[in-house]
Amino acid sequence: MFHELLKPMLVDAGTEYDLIVTTGAGHAMDIAKSFALEKIGAIAVIGGDGLFGEVMNGLNSRSSDRAMALKIPVGIIPAGSSNCLACSVGLRQPLASAFAVARGHVKPLDVLKVTMLDDSKVLLSVCGVSYGFISEVNTHAGHWRWLFGPARYSICGLRTFLTSPMTYHVNCRYKLPCENESREFDTCECGPDCRLCVLGDSSTGAVVSSPLAASSMEGGCSSEDTASPSARVDFSVDTEWKESSVVLEPRRQRFNRLSSDTMLLFSLTNLSIRQSQNKTVWNANSHMASGYMDLVMIPVISRMQLLKFFRAFSKGGNFHKADTDVFSVIKAKSVEMAISKSFDQLPEWERRIQIAIDGEVYPLQPLRVDTIQGLLSLMCA
């Protein structure tokens, strides 16, 4: 993709570049930690969501110049298994992505700050965090990467659907955006797929943001960045936490067979979440720089009900949202996820499941996730 698409554009534009081919997991993070910041004007990632995440977290791991490193424009050319980031911002085709990188036009992108409470580790995420059915599929699929390629998700998804108890012990609480947040619509459009941008309606709740938005990140990003007050959302520190269990109202009785500390899926997403292989969209009403994330909690349901949900999801559009007793979306600023039993009390099969963050898996543990509005500058069309 580089030699056929991006290189000719850079040569024609007279742009100097360095090409680095990664040799394994963690290599991109090491590169992003160590390069000379004053020599780099932009970074293009040719790969998937995992490689982009390595670069982003490498920039965030720099000790002395982290704030400046996170201001560097970053682009993505989709060459991974699912390419959720690229597809969710309207860059499904590699040629369009290469043009966006060569053009260098940037748009602000929200980032999720994920704090792993047991490990005291902070990661940045651009797509989302999940636990439950999706993370079980990702956990199994990780072992079959080199054998089945992208098809491993379908194979492991079918296996999980047929054999797993699909009852995951998790609950959470969340903070909503304050009522006094700015409702001014972002003057930069996300891309051709963003329904909020197409509507251009200030009542949607998308807000104007800056790629240099200031956000305090304890153990993560520095608060050295500054932005004009009009480009930021005021989330007061005294916003109350709202407790949430799997039983969200309204719920029909048929979904309440198990205790309220179990669910089928816990999902936090930062974008619409689209994939290159199909037309499915997890949540169309998501904006690149809204200042909040989408929290979805699907209760424990029967395999027949889950199959019905999958069939509606595969149609594309918003058919899977028709039954609000199954699919409910909460716009949240911060979310805390907890495992509702101690690790030793979990069934043996669930202890092997890991948390999925941007498609990569991490050890099961409680999390706190906060939205950092407009932290990254993403090169888009």
Model pTM score = 0.81
Mean pLDDT of 90-110: 88
Confidence of residue 351 (pLDDT cuts 50, 70, 90): very high
For residue 219, pLDDT over 60 is answered with no
Q: Do residues 270 and 88 touch, judged by C-beta distance below 8 A?
A: no
What is the pLDDT, as a whole number, of residue 115?
94
pLDDT digits (tens, 9 = 90+) for 241-256: 777 654 444 444 444 4
What is the pLDDT, as a whole number, of residue 197?
56
For residue 187, pLDDT over 70 is answered with no
Q: Which residue has better confidence, 162 or 261?
A: 162
Confidence of residue 186 (pLDDT cuts 50, 70, 90): very low
- Return phi, psi of residue 264, to 5°: -85, -40
What is the pLDDT, as a whole number, of residue 80?
82
Q: Which residue has better confidence, 56 or 147?
A: 56
The per-residue pLDDT of the chain, averaged, comes to 78
Mean pLDDT of 58-62: 93
Backbone dihedral region of 292: left (phi > 0), alpha (psi from -120 to 50 degrees) or beta?
beta
For the chain, which domains are there? 2-112 (3.40.50.10330), 121-175+239-373 (2.60.200.40)
pLDDT digits (tens, 9 = 90+) for 278-333: 567 887 767 788 888 999 989 888 899 999 998 888 887 778 888 887 888 888 88
Q: Do residues 108 and 376 touch, judged by C-beta distance below 8 A?
A: yes
For 217, half-sphere exposure in the C-beta direction (CA atoms, 13 angstrom radius) is: 30
For residue 166, pLDDT over 80 is answered with yes
Mean pLDDT of 100-121: 90
Cα separation values, 230 from 182, 211, 213, 227, 258, Å = 8, 13, 11, 8, 46
Instruction: Determine what percent of the chain is predicted with pLDDT higher than 70.
Output: 77
pLDDT digits (tens, 9 = 90+) for 130-159: 999 999 998 888 777 777 777 788 899 899
In angstroms, the CA 319 to CA 328 distance is: 13
SS (H, E, C) the chain: CHHHHHHHHHHHCCCCCCCCCCCCCCHHHHHHHHCCHHHCCCEEEEECHHHHHHHHHHHHCCCCCHHHHCCCCEEEEECCCCCHHHHHCCCCCHHHHHHHHHHCCEEEEEEEEEEECCCCEEEEECCEEEEEHHHHHHHHHHHHHHHHHHHHHHHHHHHHHHHCCCCEEEEEEEECCCCCCCCCCCCCCCCCCCHHHHHCCHHHCCCCCCCCCCCCCCCCCCCCCCCCHHHCCCCCCCCCCEEECCCCCCCCHHHCCCCCCEECEEEEECCCCECCCCCCECCCCCCCCCCCEEEEEECCCCHHHHHHHHHHHHCCCCHHHCCCCCCCEEEECEEEEEECCCHHHCCHHHHCCCEEECCEEECCCCEEEEEEEEEEEEECC
Mean pLDDT of 149-178: 87
Instruction: Determine what percent of the chain is predicted with pLDDT higher than 90.
Output: 35
